[in-house]
Structure 1
Amino acid sequence: MNFDAVLDVALLAPTFTTLLVIMDPPGTIPVFLGLTSRYTPAGQKRAARQATAVSFGVIVVFAVLGQQILHLLQISVEALQFSGGVLLFLVAMELLMGGDAKEPDTGDERVNVALVPLGTPLLAGPGAIVAVMVAVGQANHGFGSWVAVLVAVVAAHAVMWATMRFSLKLSRLLGPGGIMLLTKIAGLLLASIATQMAMSAFFRFVHEAGIGS
């Protein structure tokens, strides 16, 4: 039996690596801790699971139906990327301008940060979505290639779940003051990421539209 017919390793490796670089597990830790600082330990574990599940679901949907969805709604990839950057920037401002995190979690389930912004657009952001859509385009409808893309997506999300899950140990080690420091750093980094995302989308749109040429 031909192994490549079952799993296209040549496509698996770059897809997994690209997703991991875009999702940035180390950079997710301070953001996750900052956004869930008021949660109980059980709530943080649940948030890690939910964020991973939401991200996986969004990416799989766009992998299968991405081009059709964007075409149906007449949305360009640049518009998706720009709006994701704006949303992340608003989250970054919340992290930077928010008060301290000394008060315990109130248990208010109306605001679930695991869905937005953790699940999307932080994990399942425009970069990750486009990367998977490109990988699907390279699959050429071969069974082994499709399996490779699926395995890469599952593996990347397993890494992200483990990163968020075990960041709880860091949370207990740092205490409220340390978490507050990480929260401010995360806000600054997230603002930079959001600005870069929005600017890249804008300049790509200008380039493709031929404005100024």
Structure 2
Amino acid sequence: MIDYVSVFIFFFAVIDPVGTIPVFIAVTSRFDEKVKRKIALKAVLVATGVLLFFIIAGEVILTAIEIPLPAFEIAGGIILFMFAITMIFGDSKPDEEIGMVRNDSETAIFPLAIPSLASPGAMLAAVLLTKNSTFSILEQVQTAGVMISVLAIAFIFMLAASSIHRFIGNSGSSIISRVMGMILAAVATNSVLSGVKIYFEL
């Protein structure tokens, strides 16, 4: 039997449903309410699929190709940092990224599903909390259930984000997006440093 509280807190921290709100506001400000709901649902479904994949096959794949988990954490941190930079300096985004955000389907996948919800930290947590050598199949199923509950909370928060957007407006969402970009950059840097430290301790 897993410790539901600690697993929930762990996933809540790495998935960060609250932190997803300003990201959702920033990338969906040009869409109407119906499309926003569609984007939120698709983002959660895609993120759920990605994280369930890592629960089922993540450890097997990393072991098979001989990639240590710290290296995965470093790579994830670098990707998250690059996304944080685009949040901070929105005007300097490449044209292809701007075009991607204008498409509701692509927006649901990037940046909402990956890396906002299914972040590198969440992928890593999915692997670490379901290690075959430590946890039984039942415990892994329980962990997956907790993870899905956190993603459901993120979905509810994104639906409520529309009301928040009406209150703070485009300027407010832009400010929040850039502040969140700074926070994400710090989290990404910490992920890289942590991965480097663990890698050299192996």
Q: Pick the TM interval, shorter chain.
A: 0.7 to 0.9
Task: Give the aligned partner of residue 194 of structure 1.
Answer: 188
Q: In structure 2, which of residues 73, 79, 83 is the aligned counterpart of residue 91 of structure 1?
A: 83
Largest Rg, 1 or 2: 1
CA distance in 1, matches of 2:66, 2:5: 32
Identity of aligned residues (%): 26
Q: CA deviation at 1:148?
A: 1.7
Does residue 116 (structure 1) correspond to residue 110 (structure 2)? The answer is yes
Task: Give the aligned partner of residue 36 of structure 1.
Answer: 28
Q: In structure 1, which of residues 136, 140, 150 is the aligned counterpart of residue 136 of structure 2?
A: 140
| Greater helix share, structure number | 2
Task: Give the aligned partner of residue 55 of structure 1.
Answer: 47
Task: Give the aligned partner of residue 23 of structure 1.
Answer: 15
Q: How does 1:156-167 map to 2 (within 5 A)?
A: 156-167=150-161
Task: Give the aligned partner of residue 5 of structure 1.
Answer: none
Q: Tell me, yes or no, if the aligned pair for 1:81 and 1:126 is still in contact at 8 Å.
A: yes
Q: Tell me, yes or no, if the aligned pair for 1:19 and 1:128 is still in contact at 8 Å.
A: yes
Q: Tell me, yes or no, if the aligned pair for 1:48 and 1:114 is still in contact at 8 Å.
A: yes
Q: CA RMSD in A?
A: 2.5
Q: In structure 2, which of residues 52, 57, 60 is the aligned counterpart of residue 68 of structure 1?
A: 60
Does residue 171 (structure 1) correspond to residue 153 (structure 2)? The answer is no
Q: CA deviation at 1:13?
A: 3.0
Q: Tell me, yes or no, if the aligned pair for 2:25 and 2:173 is still in contact at 8 Å.
A: yes
Q: Tell me, yes or no, if the aligned pair for 2:51 and 2:126 is still in contact at 8 Å.
A: yes
Q: CA deviation at 1:63?
A: 0.8
- Please give the secondary structure, in 2, of the residue aligned with 1:112: helix
CA distance in 2, matches of 1:107, 1:197: 26
Q: Tell me, yes or no, if the aligned pair for 1:41 and 1:168 is still in contact at 8 Å.
A: yes
CA distance in 2, matches of 1:34, 1:194: 20
TM-score by length of 2: 0.84
Task: Give the aligned partner of residue 181 of structure 1.
Answer: 175
Task: Give the aligned partner of residue 81 of structure 1.
Answer: 73
Task: Give the aligned partner of residue 96 of structure 2.
Answer: none
Counterpart amino acid of residue 136 in structure 2: N
Q: CA deviation at 1:127?
A: 2.2
Report how many aligned residue pairs link the two structures: 194
Q: Which runs of 5+ in 1 are unaligned?
A: 1-7, 100-104, 209-213
Q: Tell me, yes or no, if the aligned pair for 1:39 and 1:107 is still in contact at 8 Å.
A: no
Counterpart amino acid of residue 168 in structure 1: S
Task: Go from structure 1 to structure 2 and tell me whether the alpha carbon gap of 1:146 and 1:88 turns closer, same or farther (over 3 Å shift).
Answer: closer
